[in-house]
Amino acid sequence: MSTLTSAVTVRAPAKINLHLGVGAPRPDGFHPLTTVYHAVGLCDDVTATLADGWGVSMALPHWIDADDLPADGENIVDRAATLLAAHHGIRVSGLVSVVKAIPVAGGMAGGSADAAAALVALDRVWDLRTPDEDLLAIAAQLGSDVPFALLGGTALGTGRGELVEPVADHGTWWWVVVPSQEGLSTPAVYRHFDAMFPDAAPEPCGADALLAALATRDPHRLADVLHNDLQLPAIDLRPDLGELIDRGQGVGALRGLVSGSGPTCVFLCESADHARSVAAALEQDHPRVLVANGPVAGAHLVEYA
């Protein structure tokens, strides 16, 4: 029996890349990746409500500038709705509101989280019951990071990042997250990678060491093998990120890392208490410092009516 839902709220997490191996660009311009995605407890909430018309609204915290988001109709949520409706041959309808907490253009896949959450929420209010494989395929059309936002947890990403498979991760890892006031464009960082490494191998470097360290559940072992091929290009574009990483490691973080293409930096800590003390030290120079743990669930329903 079908139970009609008139409104649903879906929560989707930010990601960091514990390993980001990048190869030379493919003929289509995308870079082949071997990445280990990791979902952390910093989330956007997307509510879809049945309505005749269509509209997307964004509730932004004071530190996100509305000008950093695309104009009406061009949000990734609009694209998600259009693709899902086209897949089923139906008309787009409803009101979608996004409560953002994930930094914009921060290297934490906030837009991808919103797209994944919108797919799950609209699938429910439109009563579509789209199979998981179809949702993952639609997600991949929206962006390389979107399939992972559906999956969550910790997962191996290959292809251009859109092919995801869960990996066992029984640890709880504690992170200090330091967003930046200014975003960094993902394509610009990939272009800078190409300029700095014109002889990059076609095959990205593998994640075996990272996966082995995850299995130990020991943050010291994980700290030794965190790896991001976009870190040097990001720091070359934004030298302040290198200074921030040095400072975080100087106040005791096990390891600092640029998150994806940046500019958010994340710091692995031993425990929740350790993360709070590293965060307190970094707060002296940075207006916003967060503590988050991972892995957490991908896009999931938190409320419906």
Ligand X SMILES: C[C@@](CO)(OP(=O)(O)O)[C@H](O)COP(=O)(O)OP(=O)(O)OC[C@H]1O[C@@H](n2ccc(N)nc2=O)[C@H](O)[C@@H]1O
Any idea which residues carry the catalytic annotation? 15, 145
The yes or no reply on residue 34 touching ligand X (CB under 6 A) is no
Binding segment for ligand X among 81-89, 138-146, 197-205, 291-299 (CB under 6 A)?
A: 138-146
Work out which of 10, 18, 43, 76 binds ligand ADP, going by CB under 6 A: 76
Work out which of 77, 140, 257, 292 binds ligand ADP, going by CB under 6 A: 77
Cβ pair 55, 97 in contact under 8 A: no
The Cα 29–Cα 293 span in angstroms is 34
Is 70 annotated to bind a ligand? Reply is no
Decide the pairing of beta strands 33-49 and 154-158: antiparallel
Report the residue closest to ligand X, judged by CB: 260
Cβ pair 145, 102 in contact under 8 A: no
Applying the rule CB under 6 A, the residues between 249 and 278 that interact with ligand ADP are: 261
Return the one option of ligand ADP, ligand X, none that residue 30 interacts with (CB less than 5 to 8 A, by type).
ligand X
The Cα 261–Cα 258 span in angstroms is 7
Give the strand order in the sheet containing 265-269. 255-258, 265-269, 173-178, 290-294
Is 215 annotated to bind a ligand? Reply is no
Read off the tokens for 232.
Answer: 């040097």
Report the residue closest to ligand ADP, judged by CB: 111
The yes or no reply on residue 47 touching ligand ADP (CB under 6 A) is no
The yes or no reply on residue 130 touching ligand ADP (CB under 6 A) is no
Is 171 annotated to bind a ligand? Reply is no
Listed in sequence order, the DSSP H helices in the chain are: 76-88, 110-125, 132-142, 146-151, 186-196, 208-216, 219-225, 231-237, 239-250, 272-282
The yes or no reply on residue 227 touching ligand X (CB under 6 A) is no
The yes or no reply on residue 108 touching ligand ADP (CB under 6 A) is yes
The yes or no reply on residue 219 touching ligand ADP (CB under 6 A) is no
Cα distance between the two ends of the chain: 17
Contacts of residue 86, Cβ cutoff 8 Å, sequence gap at least 6: none
Count of CA atoms in the C-beta half-sphere (13 A) of 8: 20
Q: How many residues sit in the footprint of ligand X (CB under 6 A)?
A: 20
Helix (H, G, I), strand (E, B) or coil at 92: coil
Cβ pair 291, 174 in contact under 8 A: yes
Apex CA 100: angle with CA 96 and CA 106, to 5°? 130
Binding segment for ligand ADP among 71-79, 209-217, 241-249, 285-293 (CB under 6 A)?
A: 71-79
The yes or no reply on residue 214 touching ligand ADP (CB under 6 A) is no
Return the one option of ligand X, ligand ADP, none that residue 246 interacts with (CB less than 5 to 8 A, by type).
none
User: Under the rule (CB under 6 A), what is the footprint of ligand X?
Assistant: 17, 20, 30-31, 33, 35, 107-109, 112, 143-145, 160-161, 186-187, 190, 260-261
User: Under the rule (CB under 6 A), what is the footprint of ligand ADP?
Assistant: 68-70, 75-77, 98, 104-112, 114, 186, 261
